[in-house]
Chain A
C-alpha cells in the first residue's frame, strides 16, 4: 500500500506523471488501429450470433453419461437440424439446435429425453423464435441511441459540448472495440452479451465523467493565469484522478471476474458468463478510453478556442521569458518553486530545469 499510496501522493503533487495529453497522438493512433482491426473483424468475420438471434432451441440436461458426440447424433436425429453440444461443468449437456420452430420443441425434447435416458421434465428448454433476438437487438440499439442523445445533452449542460462530444467519441470507441473483440475472438453473442454491452455505456461514461469533473474544477479560472495551458491542466487532472481510475476499474472488475469465474467454471455457459465476459472486455476498454482518449480529445478541442489559443501564447511567452531569465541567473530563489508546488501540482514542482524536461515538451509539440 505504501508504495501505491506514495505513488498516489506523487501523482497528486505532479512529481510523477505521464504526459497523456502530450502523447495523445500515439494513443489516438493505437486506438485508431484497434478500431480499424475491430471494424475489419466485424465486416470480415462478422459476429457469431447465438441461437437467440437465429431462432432455435437450447436444451440443458442434467448429469448424464452420454458422450457429446453421441448426444449430437441424437439431437440431429430428433430435430432434423445440426446440433451443437457442449459439456457443462455440472456433468450435464447443453444442446443447441438452430432453426427449429418453437412449436416443435416439445416433441424434440421428449425424443431427446428418451435417447439420453433422462426424464423429460428434467430437461431445461430455452426456445426462441427467430425474431426475438432481433427484437432484443433492435431495442438495444434504440436504447443506445436514446441514451447517447440524452447523455450528450446532459453532459453539454453539466459540462460543455466539447466534453460531451469527447465522451461520446470515447463511448463509441469502447463499444466498437468490444464488439470487435467479439468478432475477432468469435465469442458467441447472446442477449446476455447485449446486456453487458449496454452496461458498459453507463460504466464507461461514469469513469469519463469523474475525470471531466476534476478537469472542470481545475480549469474554472484558467484564463486568469498564465502559467499553464489547458492541456497542462487536463494532463494534471488525469494524473490526479489516476489512482481513483485504477481503483475504480479494479473494484469494478473484481466482481465481474468473480462472475466470469463462476459463470464459466461452474455453470459452463449461460447468462452469467455472457454478461460478465462482455463487461470484462468493455470495462477495460472504458477505463482506457476515459484516460487516453476522452480527456486528450477535450484538450484538443479546447485548444482550438481563441481564448485558449491566446492563453497558450501568453503561457509560452512567459515560459520563454522564464527560460531566458533562468539562463541568465541560474540561482533562482528557492522560494518561487516552493510556492508553485502545492497549487500547481503539475509537471513541475521541481526546480525549473526538471520542469522543463517534463512539462515543456508537451507545450513545444504544438
Chain B
C-alpha cells in the first residue's frame, strides 16, 4: 500500500503540471471540467423526456417489421417499358404508391403500408391477420389500364361465338339523342344475369355506355339496362373503324385463332407485352365464360381517367353504375373513339377496358360521348361497380411493376426470430460486459453505464420513430443494433486507453482524464464519422433489408457520439474525483502500478519530454 500513498503525496504536482500543459486552452478545459454535472443532468433529462414522450405516444415498444411480427411483405419493382426510358421517376413512383395505398386500404387493410424504396421499388407490408392473398392480388395486378376498341370477339373455347348483345343495335332508334349501349362483362365474373329493362329507353339521357353482363343464359333480349347522363353533342367526326393493326392482321388473326382463353396458361401469355400502338389479342371473362378479343390500338390511356366512382342510380332504377370523368385530352380521345365506334355493329361498337392485358369490361357505345363524362351501366352489384370504378380510377398506374419478392412470415416464426435476436443481443451484451469488467475492472462501470444509456436511448428513439416516420424494427435492424454494441464500446476503449496512456506517463487521474479527452475525442469523431458515412451511403443507395440495417447502424453511431460526449466524459470527470479511482485502487482499472506507470520521481523530467518525438 505504499504506492497509493506515494501517489497521493504527488497528487498536487500533476495538478500543477496539468495546469501548465493545458494553459493555452484553459478556458475551455476549465468549463468542461467544472460542469460535468450539467451534461449528465442534460442527458438524463433528455432520456426522461424521450421516455415520457414514448409512453405518451402510446407506443411503448418499437414497431415490429413483418419478419418479426408476422405478415406479408411484397416488394414490387418498376420495370422499364420499351420506348419510355424515363418513365421511372419520383413523380410516377409517388403516384403509384398513392394508388396502391388507396387500393390496399380500400380493401379494409388499414394497417397495410406502402412505401417507396430506392428509386424503383415499392414495398407493401401487410400485417398478419389481413387477407394477404387478396391484397397481393390487388396490388400485384394493378398495372396498366387502357381503352381499346374491340375488333373481334368471340367466346373462347366454345364452339359458337355468342353475341348476346344483339339487341343493342336496335336501341339507337329509340332515342332522339344519341345513345350508346354496350355489351360488357363484369370484372369479377358475377353470376348476375342482366335484367332486361325498357325504362332506360325513355329517359332523355344522352351519351351512355353500357356494360351488360351477357351470361350465356341471356338471350338477345338481355340487353343491359340504364343509360348515362350528361352532355351529348353529337359530334360526328367519322373516323374509320377498326383502324390500325391491319398491317399485321394476318399474324394477329393466327394468334387469335390459336388462342383458347379457357386455358389459364394461354390466358397468362395472351397479349403480353403488347405496345399501346399495336393491335393485340386479349382474354376477358363474362360471367363464367371466357371471351377472346382482337383489340385495336389504345384509344385512351387509363391515366386520362380523372375520376371514376360507383353510384347507385336511384332515378332510373338502373342499379349500380360507374361514372367516369376524363381529363381534357382523354375527353377528346374518348369522343373520337366513341363517335367512331358508335357507327359500327357489334362487336365492333364496343371498346374494351383492358387492365393488365386482360379485358375487364367491354361496354358498347351507342353514340359519341364528347363531354368527358361517361357512364357504364349494367346489372352491376355494388361490389362489382366499386371494383370497376376502383380499377378505372386507381388502376391506371403510370408504371409497370413486377413482384420482386414476397415474404410471408407466420406469427410463430416472427416471434421466434424476435426472440432469437433478443437472446443474441443479450448474449453479445453480456460477453462484452464480461470482457470489459475483466479488462477494465472499475472503469467498466463507466463503460457499462454508458452502454446502458446508449441502449435506452436507442430503444426509446426506435419506439418513437415508429409512429413518426414509420420506422419498423426488422431482423437486420436488430442485427445492426447488436453489431453497434461493438462500435459503441470501442469509443470507451479509445478513451480509456488514452487515459491509461496518460497515467503511464505518470500523470494522476484527473489531469490524465482531461488530457486524454481531446485526443480521444478526435479519434472517436473521426472514426464514428467513417462509420456513419458507411451507414448513410448504404441507407441512401441500397434497397431491401440492407436499408433497415444501415438505419440502425447510423442511428447508433450518432447516439454513440452523443453518449460519449454528454455521458461518458462527464461521468469520467466526476469519478476521477473519487478516491477509489483517483488513488488507483487495484480494482479501479487505473492502478498506475499495474499499468506500469513511471515512478513519480521521474516525472520531473516528463514536462520536457512530451509525446512529440521532436523533443525527444
Contact = CB atoms under 8 A, between A and B. Distances in A.
Contact of B553 (A202, A253, A271): A202
B534 A267 contact: no
B534 A202 contact: yes
B436 A251 contact: yes
A258 interface: yes
A220 B476 CA distance: 42
Contact of B490 (A123, A240, A251, A342): A251
Nearest to B128: A121
A257 B482 CA distance: 10
Given A126-B408, A244-B497, A343 B611 contact: yes
A129 B613 contact: no
Nearest to B491: A248
Given A90-B416, A266-B420, A147 B476 contact: no
A122 B410 contact: yes
B564 to A, nearest CB: 14
B445 interface: no
A62 interface: yes
Interface in B421-435: 421, 423-429, 431-432, 435
B497 A195 contact: no
B28 interface: no
A234 to B, nearest CB: 12
A345 B431 CA distance: 33
A122 B489 CA distance: 40
A270 interface: yes
B475 A271 contact: yes
Contacts, number: 298
Interface in A125-160: 125-129, 131-132, 135-136, 139-140, 142-143, 146-147, 150-151, 154, 158
Interface stretch (A68-76, A77-85, A203-211): A203-211
Q: What interface size band does chain A fall in? A: 35 or more
Given A4-B439, A10-B596, A135-B77, A343 B479 contact: no
B616 A136 contact: no
Contacts of A126: 405-408
A261 B546 contact: no
Interface string B483-523: 10111011001100100110011100000000000010011
B39 interface: no
Given A202-B531, A256-B428, A343 B612 contact: yes
Interface of B is mostly: helix
A271 B412 CA distance: 17
Contacts of A221: 612-614
B522 A213 contact: yes
B428 A255 contact: yes
Interface stretch (A225-233, A300-308, A357-365): A225-233
A105 interface: yes
A312 interface: no
Given A8-B595, A124-B410, A135-B404, A272 B420 contact: yes
B311 interface: no
Q: How large is the interface on B (under 10, 10 to 19, 20 to 34, 35 or more residues)?
A: 35 or more
A60 B529 CA distance: 40
Given A125-B406, A210-B494, A255 B534 contact: no
Contact of A258 (B121, B427, B616): B427
Interface stretch (B323-331, B383-391, B536-544): B536-544
Interface string B92-121: 000000000000000000000000001001
A187 B544 CA distance: 21
Given A251-B493, A255-B483, A102 B406 contact: yes
A139 B541 contact: yes
A121 B410 contact: yes
Nearest to B605: A339
A60 B413 CA distance: 9
User: Which of A90, A252, A257 has the most B CB atoms < 10 Å from its CB?
Assistant: A252
B449 interface: no
A126 B615 CA distance: 65
A7 to B, nearest CB: 9
B25 interface: no
Contact of B530 (A62, A202, A271): A202
A219 B613 CA distance: 8
B491 to A, nearest CB: 10
A106 interface: yes
Given A143-B538, A255-B485, A256-B486, A342 B609 contact: yes
B75 interface: yes
Contacts of B476: 192, 195, 271, 275
B500 to A, nearest CB: 7
Contact of B543 (A62, A128, A135, A154): A135
A136 B118 CA distance: 10
Given A150-B537, A198-B546, A255-B482, A250 B616 contact: no
B531 A206 contact: yes
Interface string A210-223: 10011001111110
Interface in B237-260: none
Given A132-B405, A343-B612, A154 B533 contact: yes
A140 B545 contact: no
Secondary structure of the A side of the interface?
Answer: helix
Given A1-B439, A217-B519, A124 B423 contact: no
A2 interface: yes
B127 to A, nearest CB: 14
A261 B412 contact: no
A112 interface: no
Contact of B489 (A4, A251, A275): A251
B222 interface: no
Contact of B596 (A13, A106, A192, A256): A13
Contacts of A240: 501
Given A205-B530, A342-B598, A129 B609 contact: no
Contacts of A339: 605, 609
Contacts of A201: 534
Contacts of A259: 424, 428, 479, 482-483
A259 to B, nearest CB: 5
A247 B489 CA distance: 10
B526 to A, nearest CB: 5
B19 interface: no
Contact of A5 (B67, B475, B486, B595): B595
Contacts of B420: 262-263, 266-267, 272
A276 interface: yes
Given A129-B404, A244-B493, A271-B545, A251 B432 contact: yes
A338 interface: yes
A13 B504 contact: yes
Contact of B405 (A127, A261, A262): A127
A142 B222 CA distance: 61
Nearest to A259: B424
Given A210-B494, A254-B431, A254-B432, 12 more contacts: A5-B594, A52-B405, A135-B543, A136-B543, A142-B541, A194-B546, A225-B616, A228-B613, A241-B497, A250-B435, A257-B431, A275-B549
12 contacts: A9-B597, A102-B403, A105-B406, A123-B410, A129-B77, A151-B534, A206-B531, A218-B613, A252-B487, A256-B428, A262-B424, A339-B609
Interface of B: 67, 75, 77, 118, 121, 133, 402-410, 412-413, 416-417, 420-421, 423-429, 431-432, 435-436, 438-439, 441, 475-476, 479-480, 482-483, 485-487, 489-490, 493-494, 497, 500-501, 504-506, 519, 522-523, 526-527, 529-531, 533-535, 537-538, 541-546, 549-550, 553, 594-598, 602, 605-606, 609-616
Q: Which 7 A-B pairs have the closest CB atoms?
A: A9-B596, A255-B428, A202-B534, A252-B486, A343-B616, A258-B428, A258-B427
